[in-house]
Each structure stands twice: as structure tokens, then as C-alpha cells.
Amino acid sequence: MDYKVNAGGCLRGQITVPGDKSISHRVVMLGAIAEGVTEADGLLEGADVLATIAAFRSMGVRIDGPRQGHLRIEGVGLHGLRAPADTIDCGNSGTAMRLLTGLLAGQSFDSTLTGDDSLRRRPMGRVLTPLAQMGAEIHAQDGRAPLHIHGRPLRGIHYDLPVASAQVKSAVLLAGLYATGDTCVREPAPTRDHSERMLQGFGQSLRVDGAQRCLSPGAHLRGQSLRVPGDISSAAFFLLGASIAAKSDLLLEGVGINPTRTGIVEILTRMGARIDLLRLREVGGEPVADLRVRHAPLRGIDIPARLVPLAIDEFPAIFIAAAAADGVTRIRGAEELRVKESDRIAVMAAGLRSLGIVVEELADGAIIHGGALGAGEVDSHGDHRIAMAFAMAGLIARGPIHIRDCANVATSFPNFPELARAAGLDLEVQSS
């Protein structure tokens, strides 16, 4: 599947983005190992979350839905999962694979995790290393999937993350539910804290001491009723589009503004964007707001290193904002982008160059010179966030942009084309 975006237009009106993907994964996982029923509304029905649902169904958990964002999970308790009859396919989801690896390492049965071609190329060593220290037995080929997990008793550890990663932190904490003794994780910079918030919401005590999170096993997780807020990573593309396209004025309803996820808002605001947070409230333990964004001229900046982990999934949008800005934008300390669904530094740099933008690629980021975007063809390399970022670039391009290999947009934002067109983007979906 390809996209063709015709140049011009603006984004106006009022839209609701899909439920938060990170939170949706965790709802399914914790609901499955809790005691009692968990019911969730606003759940993302993208392919990534559906893969996580299928994984727990294969381990004996009854899950009804999702239907229009509603999901009902009959939890089996911490020790109620059953051995899956077959290999668990995580599709394109790194979150599913990394978190499941931690959760399954301490089970009483063996399991195998695999994924699509893209996921099997992604390194899993940063998860395997701390789990091995906990006593896990996991076999992989050069640190990559398929992962053969031999469930066994685990022991708690104190682990200092070498690189800020919410997925690694979460995998270790989930493994800690099945370990003897305390499990503590210290992170070098703040990362999204959905796992910590949700563990506490389900009844697991968690001690937070600065950058360290400590978990003591033995708690009984209890089923919950909750609502999943809108995904700020999905909202990011509309924040970008409305910022760069003249005459834009767009309201995004019910978006999660967890402080570990709002790097995109702060970065765009530093660049000159006009983003207002309205009707601040709390939903299911997560802060939520309506975001109003209007067109404003952007300027190049040096992105502060502390904001990088708070916007790590939104950097494809930030690359486009930098290309549209007046002046030079410097991104450093973002080497994590090289091991996402694609090498996002290399793929974004190549795509921007094909549209006439001057980009200097760095090992841990890029230097982007703002300029006029021309017409052209971009290969997203199957990376959903890159496809959506370049789609929004069409608002200010001098001609059509053809974006190749966009099918994986369905993993995180299945109705992106329809919602983008409703807001004003001239986007066509084409067969490859």
C-alpha cells in the first residue's frame, strides 16, 4: 500500500485520535494476569495491540472484543497462564515482544516469540541482558527473534539501564512480578511511566525514589475498569501538520499528556508552534487534555538532550518540522532511533533529501537545514510513523509526494487516511 499526497491545503476542525498504543498493550497484559474482570474503553484496535490480545488468548485468557474500542478481559491471575500451543507472533510490535519476554521469563512453561521481517531484525539484547541476570533462560540468534523462552524461577536484581528505554524498564518490572526478592530499575533519563502507573492501579505497590523504581513481588493484581486516553504519538502528526500549514486551526480531543510523553509538545513549542492545552483532567490515572493547534512560523533549534527520550517515537514528525522551519535544527543523543521499526535517522534523512532538504546525518541524530520541500518519492521502509510524517509534509510541498510501503500504518493508526482527509489533507491510498 502506498500514499499519494497532493500539495497544499490546511488542517481544520475537531478530531479524536485513536487510543494510546503503549497504554493499550499494558491494559491487555495486566488485565490478563490480574484476578477478576478488566474492562477498558478507548482501546486502540491497531494490528500491534491485536497481536498482544492474540498472544494472551493463546495462553488461555478469555478476551471479548475489541468492539468500538471496548475490551473485556477475564483475568487468570499471576500464575494462571497456560503454555501456548504454538509460537506467539508479535507482528510488527517491539513493545509486545519486549514486554512479553519479561512477563514470560518467569512462567512455569516454555514459549517462543517471533514477529514480521522488520521485528526479527530489531535487537533484543538490551532486554535479554537484565533478564539473564535475573536467571532467565532465553535463546536468540545474534540477540534477535525468534526468542525461545524457557520459563523458570527468577530472582530480583538492581539494574541500571545503560540507555533510557521504557520497554526495557517495563520488561524487567514485569519479570519482577515473578521473582524472589525486590527488583529495582534505575534509568539514566525519564522515560514513559505507563507501566508504573498501571501496575499501581492494578494493586501492585511500587517504590519510586528519584530515577529508581522498586517492586516487591507477592501482590494480587485486581481487575480494573478504565478508559484509554488518545495517543499523543498519533496526535503528533496532526500537531505537525497544523503547525506548518497556513490557515490551520485544529482541535484534538482527549489526548493523553503524561509528562513522560509530552516532549513533542515542548519541542514544537520551542520551535514557535501555537499549541494550547484545554480542559485538563485525569482519565484512568493519566492526565488528559484537548489540544488546540494553529499555524505558526517555525524556527530551527538545538533540541535539548533531556527532551529526546520524552519524544523518541515522535521524531519522524520532528524531522519534518525541522525541514519546514527557518534555520537549522540539530538533533543529538537520539541513537535509539536507529533501532526502531526502521533506522529512522537514515530513512528520514534519505526521504528529506529526495524532497530537496539538506540533511547531515550523525551517528546519534541529524543536522537539518530548513527549506522548501519539493515533489518527490519517499520510501518509508514499512515504518508507520515515517509514512504518516511524510504524508503531513505534503501540506507544504511544491508538488505531490508519493510515499511507498505504508501498510504498517495500520499497526498504530488504522484510520489515519480517513481522519487526515476529514481534517483537510489531500491523501490518496494506492495499491503498491
Residues labelled catalytic: 313
Question: What H or E segment, with its residue span, contains residue 391?
Answer: helix 384-393
| Contact (Cβ atoms closer than 8 angstroms) between residue 106 and residue 178 | yes
Instruction: Tell me 228's DSSP state.
Output: P
Cell 524457557 belongs to 150
Residue 144 gets the label, from left (phi > 0), alpha (psi -120 to 50) or beta, of: beta
Contact status, residue 422 vs residue 395, Cβ threshold 8 Å? no
Kindly state the helix (H) or strand (E) to which residue 217 belongs, with its residue range.
none
Q: What angle do CA 244, 363, 259 make, to 5 degrees?
A: 50
Grid cell for residue 60:
488461555
ω into 130 cis (within 30 of 0)? no
Q: What is the DSSP string of 117-171?
A: HHHHHS--HHHHHHHHHTT-EEEEETTEEEEEEE---EE--EEE-SS--HHHHHH
Q: Which residue stretches of 182-314 are H helix?
A: 194-201, 232-244, 263-270
Residue 392 three-state SS: helix
C-alpha cell recorded at residue 309 = 527520550
Question: Rounded to whole angstroms, how far apart are CA atoms 221 and 279?
Answer: 32
**Rg, C-alpha atoms of the chain:** 21
For the chain, helix, strand, coil in percent to 5 are 35, 30, 35
Q: Which residues share a beta bridge with 63? A: 73
* 364, 332 Cβ separation under 8 angstroms: yes
Pairwise CA distance, residues 428 & 9, whole Å: 14
Nearest to 227 by CA among 43, 2, 26, 13: 43
